[in-house]
Structures are given as C-alpha cells and as structure tokens.
Amino acid sequence: MTQVSFYSDAADPLHYACRLIRRALASGKPVGVCVSPEEAARLDELLWAFDPVEFIPHRRWDGLSPTAPGEVLLVADAASLPHRGLLLNLDDATPNAALDFERVLEVVGQEPVRVQAGRARYRFYHQAGAKLDHFSAAG
C-alpha cells in the first residue's frame, strides 16, 4: 500500500521541496521528482544553491541514460522513473503510476488553484485506499 504524505500551505513549494528532498535522500531510498519542465529549471537552480555546504546530487533525467545511486531524478512523467521508491510530486495533477511507488510526497502551495488541485489529489489517493497523512508546511 502506498504511503502518501501531504504538505500543505507551502509559501514556496519548490523551496519546501528542497527540504523534503534532502530528508528523503537521508532515508537511502531512490528519489524521483515529478515536476513540469518550466518548474524543473527553477528547482534545478534551487537544489544547487539550497545549502552552501551540502550537495544534493540531481539532474533532469531523459529516461534513457544510466542513473547513479543517490541521485535525485527530475522528470515530467513519474511513470518514466527507473525505480518505485520515493516520489515527490510538484505537479497539480496526480502523477502517472503514483500508486506504484512505496511512498509519495505531495507539496501543495497556497494559491487557490493549487489548493483545489491538492484536494483533488487527496480524494484520488483516499479513494484508491492509500495510507494518508498530512502536515502543514506553513512557517
């Protein structure tokens, strides 16, 4: 059963995602991030600058090239990821193959359209029988 954790009310979802990615890497599980191509560029920049003394290995994955252990893969389609460990979703839609992952992290921003999309994803996971929990990203 997929464990889905929602982090709502994030003032800057991409910056908050950097914090979650750092924690997820510490778990030792493979990490994939479902993000639009437009937001992937900003997330890439944020991951390079997130912590001046720490490196978060990551790249936009083309779906073909070999991957390295501990490398965070940024993709537009979660179904293309070569693993089913941990998925961080930054898209407004429920990712393809989301229920195939061991764990899914959902970051929901403060904008009304993002809140509505987050609620729709929560309903989807609930109806699918996923194990759900919720945390506030405010603060």
The 3-class secondary structure across 72-115, one letter per residue, is EEEECCHHHCCCCCEEEECCCCCCCCHHHCCEEEEEEECCHHHH
**DSSP characters over 95-107:** PTTGGGSSEEEEE
**Residue 38: exposure state from Cβ atoms within 10 A (0-12, 13-18, ≥19):** exposed
Percent of the chain with pLDDT over 70: 99
How much is the pLDDT for 78?
A: 94
Domain residues of the chain, as ranges?
A: 3-62+70-136
Mean pLDDT over 15-27 rounds to 94
**Residue type at 24?**
A
Confirm or reject CATH 3.40.50.10110 for domain 3-62+70-136, answering yes or no.
Answer: yes
106 pLDDT exceeds 90? Answer: yes
Contact 102, 29 (CB under 8 A): yes
Which residue type is seen at 47?
Answer: L
pTM of the shown model: 0.94
Judge whether residue 139 has pLDDT over 70: no
**Mean pLDDT for the stretch of residues 63-76:** 87
Residue 104's identity, in one-letter code, is V
